[in-house]
Structure 1
Amino acid sequence: MADKRRRKSLSIFRQKADHSPTIQIPASPLLEKRSSDYLPSPVDSDPASPKPRPRTLQKANRTSVFGSLRSLHSLDEEEKLALTRSDSKASSLQEESDMNVKGLLGSKVLQYGEVQAGGSNMFRKRTQFMVLTESHLIRFRSQIKAAEMFPSIPNSLNKGHTPRTSSVSSYQELQMSTYSDITSGVPLEQVVAVYKIDDGRPSPVVEVAYFDERARRASAMQLQLNEMREAELWIAAIRSACNQARSLVQQQIQDRTVEHLARVLERERDYDPEHFHIFKVVQRFINKSTGRASAEDLTRLGSSTTCYLVIGLHKIHLVPLQKSSTRSSSTSLSELDGMTCYAIVNLTSIRVVADDDAFQLTFKPPMANPCMVQLASCSGGEIALWLRSASEYLRPEWLRQPFIFDVPPEIDDQMIPPNFPKEDHDCFDRTLIAYCAGYDVDTSRICYSVDYDCEDAPRFQLLPPSNGTTYSALELLAVFRALRYNESFSSISFARINLLPLRLYYDGFGSDLDSLFTRSGNPTNIAGHQDLPVLSQEIRVLALKSRRLRRLDFSHTIPHQTLAGDGETLDCGILEALTPLCKRSLTNVDWIVLTGLRLADSDLNYLVDAASERKCHLRALEIGECGLSVHDIDVLLSALAVQESTVEVIDISGAQGRFSPELFQRGMGAFTRIRRLNLTRVQKTAGSEPLLPPEVLLAWRLEALYLSQTTLNEQTVDSISTYLATPKSDILRELHVNQCGLTGYDLATFFRSMTRDDMQTRMMHVSANENRLKTGNTVLFRTIAQNCGPSSLSLRMMDFEKENHFRELINALKVNTTLRSLDISRASLPYDASVETCEALKEMFATNRTLEELDISGEHAHLDTTRFGIGLNIALRGLEKNTSLKLLRIEYQALGLQGANTLAEVLERNDSLVEIHCEHNDINLQSFTALVNALEKNHTLLYMSTMDHDRARSMDKVRREIETMERADSPKVPKSGGGAIKKAFAGTLTGKPHGKGHGHRHSSSMSSTASFTNQDVAAVMSTLDEKWNIQVSRMQKYLFRNYCRAQGVPWEDGAGDEDSRQTTATGDSSIAQILQRVKLDRTPTAAHPDALDYIDEKLGRDSNSQMIFQMPED
């Protein structure tokens, strides 16, 4: 393009065959004016005016001509040198003498007129003359000087268009006299923006900002005019001419500048080749004032900064111009400090002015004042369109972008065609990342899951943050904003996520305007909305904008101890947000979970108001653990009776007080469509009446009944048994009676009642944990042996007074064919299981063909420990022949190295297990390595824990042993004592027990234990940690291989695993080599002599130690 410009500039040295045609300005609303509205129009074409031929051509003085042109900074060096070129031939001299000098600055005058020039003395106003051509905007000292260059302009002495004859004696004098009177000339293709300076004064000022990208120089020219109409005419003419001039330039921004700006955005982590747009803009600084202004005031008011506006993936960047003239790609820190970034998601207003190039962007960050950015650019309309497109890309599901788009109609009618790829969950991740970037929060902290196997699926579940702390207000706000308008979820759950930071947050700088309208754009007209906390506003908008959303779960989201300023319970704000929408049928949300929230009196009033309105069509009332009294619940149930045809779930667990059975049955009996009832920790008044008589139970369609921690008297047990024996209970799937004081006789009665004559398996889960089952346990186990009972049973924390009672349960499981899932974890035996009991458990594992899930975990507490003992290793061998068990939980059983080896042998032979949970079993690196090696031969297991807890304990144990050795390094310690410590250290590393009496002798030089520096200890721990990581990587690799096989997906084995196994198969037996390497790498000092040769010897001997528990031969 530079070559084209050079050829064009050199063409002025040829004689003109005809006059340049009139420039056609594109039709625009700004230019649709009558010809009489303009200033005196210039001549369309230059008249043929004879010019006197110069008498002499002084070639020796060419340098002065070149110097006079040096002020025209827009000319290339070749163009400047072209003015000094001459030919020795007479014909060339003739052409040069007839040359029109004004060709360098344009050949056609589009606009001209007088303007006021600013100066230091405001009382001596000077006027200058402006001329606009098709290529330049030129400022002359006077109209006479302008007329000398452009004959079409009348001079001040002779108003008219008659040709003027020049009186200069030579061509050189013509050049010097003309160009010396040009104060500035601006190439139109370098103009960045043309705009009015709004200083509140009647005298308008027009500023023309331009930028020479090759020289990296930016400047501005101010035109002070007398009338606003005159300023508008100049702006319209300059903008039209600039558009024509820029259309001839192929590359608006140089490649080196594009590369520099791309690197700047890469450092900001906002670069995406598909979302990268660069524009030259002027950042305006408006300082309106009143009164008279001096010339210095005008200059200050019109101060502006030219910079680059770069639209990235998530932000708008105002990047200052590069001050360095070098072509280096590096950017100084001072240049980056001047950069300003604004998030696209914080954009609230785009205003583009129709009369000039000025436009305004407004950003509203959370918890901050709106920020207005005054800009100007000839590409203002294009910038507005790209910003709207960028916002639509980040929020593709939003029907209306949450900002004011105030642009001229011709811009608003344009549309950049969207090319947005579809993503899962309606691009939820894309929107969430955009808001996290806009709010400067770490996206990796936010965790969530999507459940497709639940009621009202799919369900969005916000999980605790990745680092274990609570979410901040901005992180929660990002999640809420990302969920807005998203209709891929039918349920949204914030269960057990602390929403208090957002509940305490009030945005006093202005609320979200989008929250004032429905999804279809109609105003909600709900009074007091802007006075609500941000949590209430976001919940309201969340329910307002989604038509698919049916359920919201806020259980345990506000801590109980939260109090308001007056010491009263702080209202949750959830019901205040949702009740007006439900009453006006503005939302489809009809299931609100409030379990675990301390409801204030205002919350209760909103809840009663919603319950009494049939339009709310509530499907559930879940107010468990909300601190409500029996009276409050009676009022709620009475109000909710009008919606008895829609209510499916009632949760009043934890009610404070005692219900009267008569009043309770009357209130609950009104609901005939109840599917799930939660009466946990609900007590009744004294008396023999049952809490739930059979006729009330038979009136419902129960699928789940929760009675845990509720005292069940004999009459209530009989009532439940009667209900279970009827066909009405066939749809019951869950029965929870934990800590109800039930005996083995009571539970056996339930099991016999739910069993039908055809002895088919009852697909049902019964949870009867922590009951008094030791009373009548023999009857209960006999009932299980007779295949009576549910398909899933939980009997956690059973207390066995005698070991033979536990064997009775094991023997019952041998013959049972109905149980699919069994939980007997934390069972308490009088002492460790005997060999007879372990053999029975082994036989049960080998013969049972129906159990698919089994939990035999123990418990480790400060005051009590429950486990089967080391004999469990015998029982585990029965799993080698098992073909039905898929999930095994065996935590807190202190398996150790011996148990891990047994479990590894099981994994090599078993082909049915899918999940193994074996955490908290004193698994060290050697034990974990054995399990991973066995997993290499297993092709069905899909889950095994990474043993993070056991890993931490093992590493800490090694560190403590090293510290013990350090403390034992004393001359007073005898040799035998040092050998004992070293032997303990070796056992810690290898995970093997110690034998008795090694009887090794050491020289006197090795009598004391070697000492280690902190650097040595850190090096050893780092090496061990690396070995753990290697085994974890191997385990994940094998699990992924098995997953691919289960899904029928091809899987290719990676190289290098054999070497990894060879280097780690020895387990921790190489720790001695690690320690030796640490000592060899360390520079010996007098304070730390090298003495580690005994460690290898000890570890080598220790590898042949005897096991404490001898495994029987099969």
Structure 2
Amino acid sequence: MSQVSSASETDVTSSYSTRRRSTLSKIRPPDFAKQDLARQLSKASSDYTEVASSSTRPTTPSGGGSRGTSLSDKAATVLKSGPLKEESSVLKNKKEYLVLTPAGLFKFRNRLAAIEQFPQVAVPTSAVEALSPVETIASFQEIGAKAEAHIPLERIVSIFKDEGTKPCFGLEVWWKESCAAGFFANIELNFSHPGDRDDWLKQIQYAVRQKTKALAADDSIPSELELDLACILEAKYPHQSAHLDIFPVVPRRPFGRLRSNNGEIKKGWRENSSFYMAFSKNICFLAHFTRSPTGQKVNPSIVQYGLVTISKVNAHTHDERFDLVFRLPLDTPRKLELSSRHHRNIVSRLFKSDTYLKPAWPLSTRREIFLVEGDSHQMPLPSGEDYGGFKRTLEAFLEGYHSVSVQWKVNWRNVKYAPEFQLLPSTDTPKYTAYQLLAVFRALRFNDFFKSLSFRGVDFSALSNVFDNSCRMEPTVWLSRTGKRSLTRDEFEVVEKSSVLFQEVIAMLLGSESIRHADFTAVLPKAPVVPTPGSSPTVHQGCEVVPPVVLLIRSLQSRCKSIILNGNYIGHVDVSEIHQTLQSQPNYLRGLGLSRCQLDEMSMITLWEGIHEQRQSLEHLELSSNFGCLEASRVSQTLWDTSNLRRLDLSSCLKGIIDGPLFRPWTTSPYEDPWSLEEVDLSGWKINFDTVSSFVRYLEVDESSCLRHLKLNSCGISGEVATAIFCRIGSGRDIHLYLNSNPLETGSTDWVDLIHGNEAPKRLHLDMIEFKHESNFDKLLTALADNNTIELLSLVGTGPPGRASPKTSSLFSAFLEKNRTLRYLDFSGYSGKLEDAHLGWGLSGALGGLKSNKTLRQLRIRNHDMGAAEDITELCRVIAQNQGLAMLDMQNNNFDHHQFSKVIHALELNRQIISFPISSSDRDHVLAKEKQAFSKSLKKSLKGSLGKSDSARLNSMLEWLRGHWDSEVKKAEDILQRNRDDYLNQALELDTEFLSSWDDAQLPSWLSRKPSGRDTTRARDSMISMSSTSSMLNENPSSPMLSTHKRSFSGRGFAVASEPAIHVYTVEEEESSTNPSPGIVGAARTGSPVEISHNDQLWMRKRTR
């Protein structure tokens, strides 16, 4: 009994000579020459070895027939024959007969029909000797014509056991009707006994393999459907066409849309169809081609699955059936039950793809996915390029999860543990989706390249309180990559039942054995609100990042001992867990950040008790800007023993008065390790004299040379104390000193004289200093004009007590003209006191000194109401003629649209400025002002209603104004782009801290960060920020590309860094140095002015021309 879904016409020569290969690693274009499509007759071969079946024997002597390999000889050679299961009917019984030859499989109406074509079939079934062909037998074409079904072996797609519900033992045979077209036909062969079925299955599969081997040496031509599929996929995924492999498959169960709306299987869902599985670099496609009743092919329906979403592969080496289970996180599994004679190649392709796309993942993870009986896979060593395989893994996960790219970079400088992976906040959308975050987390899983992870400012709320345990098939990570670190059974069960975010944090920090530091700043800033079942109140949960971190600290199985949780909501339960963990594991943590976590005073006290137990190991502690404060006496008891401390931030955290210093960061004992503070922030606490003396004493010892930031804002520091600090800092020390909002005019102004005498640091913040006497402010401007040590200066909100006099404006202009050291100046007004702007309209003229200044690179002058001046000609001259500025920020100065147009025109004449931020608030101010003026002209209040004509006039005027403003903004953008494209400007090189202080999201990517002597941690620059799914990046990045243009302005100004070419990462390496550059420090410490080099002068002359 058999059922044929589609019969094929016999074309022996065409079918036999057709060549088929198991994989199509490269698809020919559809317009290849017609002669390439011509079928080639098979060559004579002596490699065929006919195998006699137990059911046939020769009817002629073996010597009477040729053993040649002609078509007729092959057709006459019978490998096996036998009856199918008898089919009973009302009229008569039908017992069909099956014959297998080295060239094809034949089904006849009965045994007599088979004997007519194959006389060998008439012999007793006990003969086992080799058969010889009969000379009088009909040709192969005649045989196919007289058989009910003829299946050329080279066209067989798959043969497998029937999985239907009929009480019989059957086989399904699928083959291509025509190699040129590629559509499938199938037949069901039913046997009376399972042994017969299994024997026939083995014999047919063996014959197909022998036929495939015989044809392997010849070229094969893809079918039309395969070519169509290749064209479709290459058009959609052009960057992955080189990785395209196509296999014909047979689905054993419906998938995707093949089911009806009610979920039942559609009738005849495989008729007039063909199915192909294609693999690109990151995606697996399953294409379903159908044929219309008129015989025309219909566009295929294609289902795609990410290769990294494969959850289970069930297969057997001797069974063509195999099952694939794909699953997206937070979704239900998708199962494909398939069959193909290429099943081994398909499983091997999946395994190799998993290995290639996730090279850092250990072999144990693949053993849980690939359940292949009778076969074993070798695990190749992961390659070392693209950050230990991170880039390709991230790209594969993003494409597999149908997500757009994320923005990230690799930091080498200014990080304690380099290299550091940093995920940047999304710029295209308010936050990343759950799938984007999961793609990043899983790409980082088991990665041993990075030493630090930073998610600063990235919103994790898409994964907040998300669980995926009901349908999850992926195993829970409880082992590290090498298996050296693991969770206990109890810990594993906790992770197994936890949220997705909990599990991913565990997988990242436990799976990788290289992570030392993790920054989760502001990932969950708000308290999550979870509805309570059956009640209206809500329950505020804590930060979901805290529980996995606590579990890992308790387990002692993670090498990550520095955790930053700043800016997150930390609940009382979290505080209790952290407190207990820190007390149970003394001296374990090296870094802890809990600033801006909305902690009340009781929570602060509880946390400090745990921090006290970590005092001897802590190197980094942040606990600033919380709701509660700590008594300074309590903090002092802990800080006296924190000799390993490097960074301390207790701003807005301390209260009370203590006897003696808060801590003494120096020692006179040779048996104690010296302190090596790098950053100290005690802002907001009225510092006592003993603590100041302790700092002053520390600044005198050699160990203080590593101190980079000293923040004493709003600490009640008088002029006398400031003078003592300036004296100890000395001339040109590479330190950033913050003295904002202190009464520095009280007691003494000798610190101003020290600035005049170059006894000042390189970076100085004097914001919000309210001078009571204009003479003292004028004295400061005079000192700054002659100073040659300060490179970064901030005077935000600092100025004379009233509106500036002409003398003050003149001194400010002289300061800008004479100073040759300053690189960064922020002289913005305080936005809350705009009506009392210190220089106001006079600032436009006071900036005249900039016309001859060629060393200042960054200038910010916000909130000075310069628009109040009717004439801004001098300001426009400065912008047009200045030859040093690269970045200028003049936002919130209330320019009207006429003044704004003049400023943009002046900007057009400047060919060096590459950053000119423009805020929408400036345009809004102009529109609001125009509304007010229009209403005033009508003598009506803004709140009153306007008539139709007046309203139309106002709207028309505002629309024109808005369009005019936007056109000017567009013009400014074009000017900036012109300047950025100028290769001379691409030499700009700024200090990392200067760039970090500049607020402009449109800064060009080629902008280089200046190597600084104060960078003692790493000597390699940050990598470029890149799109993770940028398909244009080379899979094997070449060696670091050095810049082809090099210019240096005495190490301070511009230095070329050419834009990296496609396919290449730019990594500029330099020797690590623990001391500042001799040229820079020498000039600074000796007090001599920084001279412009010969190269600078040449560059300036070129610019002047």
* TM-score with structure 1 setting the length: 0.72
Q: Does 1:811 align with 2:782?
A: yes
8 A contact 2:598–2:627 mirrored in 1 = yes
Measured in 1, the distance between the counterparts of 2:479 and 2:154 equals 45
Give 1:242-261 correspondences, 5 Å limit: 242-247=208-213, 248=215, 250-254=218-222, 256-261=224-229
Change in 2 beyond 3 A, CA 1:326/1:623: same
Is residue 75 of structure 2 the alignment partner of residue 114 of structure 1?
no
Alpha-carbon deviation of 1:505? 1.3
For structure 2, the 5+ residue unaligned runs are 1-9, 19-43, 256-263, 533-537, 669-673, 939-949, 990-1007, 1009-1041, 1048-1105
The answer as to 2:747 corresponding to 1:747 is: no
Q: Return the letter of the residue paired with 1:927.
A: V
User: Is 1:323 matched with 2:291?
Assistant: yes
Residue 232 of structure 1 and its aligned partner are, at CA, apart by: 2.0
Once the two structures are overlaid, the 10-residue window that deviates more, 360-369 or 203-212, is 203-212
What residue identity is the alignment partner of 2:856? L
Distance 1:672 1:278, change over 3 A: same
Distance 1:1041 1:151 in 2: 90
Q: How does 1:660-679 map to 2 (within 5 A)?
A: 660-679=631-650
Contact 2:714 2:742 in 1 (8 A): yes
Aligned to 1:224: 190
Q: Structure 2 vs 1, CA of residues 309 and 960 (structure 1 numbering), >3 Å: closer, same or farther?
A: farther
**C-alpha displacement at 1:285, in angstroms?**
0.7
Mapped to 2, the partners of 1:189 and 1:962 lie a distance apart of 82
Q: What does the per-residue CA deviation read over 1:919-938, in whole Å, with 9 as the maximum and x for residues that have no partner?
A: 45547455334323321xx5
Counterpart residue number, 1:309: 277
Q: CA deviation at 1:277?
A: 0.6
Deviation at 1:346, TM superposition (A): 0.4
Q: Look up the match of 1:552.
A: 518
Q: Distance in 1 between matches of 2:760 and 2:837?
A: 27
Instruction: State the identity as a percent.
Output: 24
Does the 8 A contact of 1:1044 with 1:1051 survive in 2?
no
Amino acid at match of 1:689: D
Give the partner amino acid of 2:54: P
1:233-274 Cα offsets, whole Å, 9 max, x none, are 212111121223334274555265444223322454365232
Contact preservation (8 Å) 2:408, 2:423:
yes
Query: For residue 337 of structure 2, what is the aligned residue in structure 1?
Result: 374
Please say which structure displays the higher CA radius of gyration: 1
Show CA shifts across 1:500-548 (max 9, x none): 2213211131163162332024763423211111111111111122222
Matched, 1:464 2:425: yes
CA distance in 1, matches of 2:265, 2:307: 35
Structure 1: how far apart are the matches of 2:210 and 2:559?
55
Equivalent-residue separation in structure 1 for 2:756 and 2:829 (angstroms): 24
Contact (CA 8 Å) 1:284, 1:305: kept in 2 or not? no
Structure 1 vs Structure 2 CA RMSD = 5.0
Cα separation, partners in 2 of 1:280 and 1:843, compared to 1, 3 Å: same
Q: Is the 8 A contact 1:966 1:1009 kept in 2?
A: no
Aligned counterparts of 1:425 and 1:636: Cα–Cα separation in 2: 37
For 2:709 and 2:131, how far apart are their aligned partners in 1? Answer: 105
**2: distance between equivalents of 1:160 and 1:453?**
81
- Deviation readout 1:994-1039 (Å, 9 max, x if unpaired): xxxxxxxxxxxxxx99998999999988976764554343132126
Superposed CA deviations along residues 41-65 of structure 1, whole A, max 9, x for unmatched, are 43378657999xxxxxxxxxxxxxx
Residues of 2 paired with 1:778 and 1:439: CA distance?
63
**Counterparts of 1:539 and 1:286, CA distance in 2:** 38
Q: Among residues 592, 600, 604, which one is paired with 2:575 in the alignment?
A: 604
- Distance in 1, Cα, partners of 2:933 & 2:179: 71
* Structure 1 position 474, deviation (Å): 1.4
Q: List aligned pairs for 1:649-728, cutoff 5 A.
A: 649-654=620-625, 657=628, 659-685=630-656, 687=657, 689=659, 692=662, 694=664, 700-713=675-688, 716-717=691-692, 720-721=695-696, 724=699
After superposition, the Cα gap between the structure-2 partners of 1:898 and 1:259, relative to the gap in structure 1 and judged at 3 Å, is: farther
Pairing 1:479–2:435 present: no
Distance in 2 (CA, whole Å) between partners of 1:7 and 1:469 is 59
- Partner amino acid for 1:933? L
Of stretches 811-820 and 361-370 in structure 1, the one that deviates more from structure 2 is 811-820
Verify: 1:527 aligned to 2:497, yes or no.
Answer: no
Please point out which of 1038, 1044, 1048 is paired with 1:1049: 1044
Amino acid at match of 2:183: R
Q: 1:929 to 1:3 in 2, by over 3 A?
A: farther
* Structure 1 residue 317 displacement after superposition: 0.7
Which of the numbers 196, 208, 218 marks the counterpart of 2:161?
Answer: 196
Counterpart position of 1:1069: none
Please list the CA deviations of residues 1031-1063 of structure 1 after superposition, one character each: whole Å capped at 9, or x if unmatched.
Answer: 3431321267533899963599xxxxxxxxxxx
- In structure 2, relative to structure 1, the CA distance for the partners of 1:438 and 1:124 (3 Å cut) is farther
Greater relative CO, 1 or 2 (CA 8 Å, sep 6+): 2
Q: Specify whether residues 163 and 142 from structure 1 end up closer, same or farther in structure 2 by C-alpha distance, changes over 3 A only.
A: farther
Secondary structure of 2:325's counterpart equals: strand
- Indicate which of 901, 906, 911 corresponds to 1:930: 906
Go from structure 1 to structure 2 and tell me whether the alpha carbon gap of 1:913 and 1:657 turns closer, same or farther (over 3 Å shift). Answer: closer
Aligned to 1:1038: 982
- Tell me, yes or no, if the aligned pair for 1:307 and 1:319 is still in contact at 8 Å: yes
Deviation for aligned residue 1:593: 0.8
Q: 1:595 aligns with which of 566, 571, 588?
A: 566
Distance 1:965 1:24, change over 3 A: farther
Q: Who is 2:767 aligned against?
A: 796
Give the stretch that moved more between structures: 816-825 or 395-404. 395-404
Q: Whole-Å Cα distance in 2 between the matches of residues 968 and 208 of structure 1?
A: 90
* Distance in 1 (alpha carbons) for counterparts of 2:935 and 2:266: 79
Q: How much has 1:852 moved relative to structure 2?
A: 2.9
Contact map agreement 1:144 1:156 (CA 8 A) in 2? no
Counterpart of 1:978 in structure 2 is none
Distance 1:47 1:645, change over 3 A: farther
Structure 1 unaligned regions, length at least 5: 11-18, 26-34, 52-94, 288-295, 970-980, 982-1007, 1053-1114
SS at match of 1:891: coil
**Counterpart of 1:518?**
480
Residue identity opposite 2:764 in structure 1: L
How many angstroms apart in 1 are the aligned matches of 2:847 and 2:265? 91
* Aligned counterparts, 1:125-136, within 5 A: 126-136=94-104
- What is the CA-CA distance between 1:775 and the residue it aligns to? 3.9
Decide whether aligned partners of structure 1 residues 589 and 171 sit closer, same or farther in structure 2, where only a CA change above 3 A counts. Answer: closer
2:319 paired residue number: 356
1:835 has 2:830 as partner: no
Deviations 1:316-336 (A, max 9, x none): 1111226379999xx96xx34
Higher helix share: 1
Decide whether aligned partners of structure 1 residues 1019 and 175 sit closer, same or farther in structure 2, where only a CA change above 3 A counts: same
Letter of the 1:1038 partner, please give it. Answer: D
Give, in whole Å, the separation in 2 of the partners of 1:175 and 1:810: 105
CA distance in 2, matches of 1:101, 1:845: 98
In structure 1, C-alpha distance between the alignment counterparts of 2:747 and 2:501, rounded to whole Å = 53
Q: Cα 1:638–1:252, aligned 2, differ >3 Å: closer, same or farther?
A: same
CA distance 1:955–1:126, shift in 2 (3 Å): farther
1:619-658 Cα distance to aligned partner (Å, 9 max, x none): 1232233344555555555545555442212223246655
- Select 1:396's aligned residue among 359, 366, 370: 359
> C-alpha distance in 2, partners of 1:926/1:324?
69
Q: Is the 8 A contact 1:271 1:312 kept in 2?
A: no
What SS class does the counterpart of residue 127 from structure 1 fall into? Answer: coil
Distance 1:130 1:878, change over 3 A: same
SS of the residue aligned with 2:515? coil
- Change beyond 3 A, Cα 1:819–1:301: closer
Count of residues in correspondence between the two structures = 916
> 1:491 touches 1:551 (CA, 8 Å); kept in 2?
yes
Matched residue SS, 2:352 = helix
* 2: CA distance, partners of 1:788 / 1:563: 54
CA distance in 2, matches of 1:1039, 1:902: 29
Candidates 508, 516, 522, aligned match of 1:542: 508
The aligned amino acid for 1:116 is: K
Tell me the CA shift for residue 8 of structure 1.
7.3
Q: Distance in 2 between matches of 1:246 and 1:1044?
A: 64
Q: Which amino acid in the other structure matches residue 620 of structure 1?
A: G
Q: Deviations over 1:548-602 (max 9, x none)?
A: 2110011222123324446444132334323443444432111011222333344
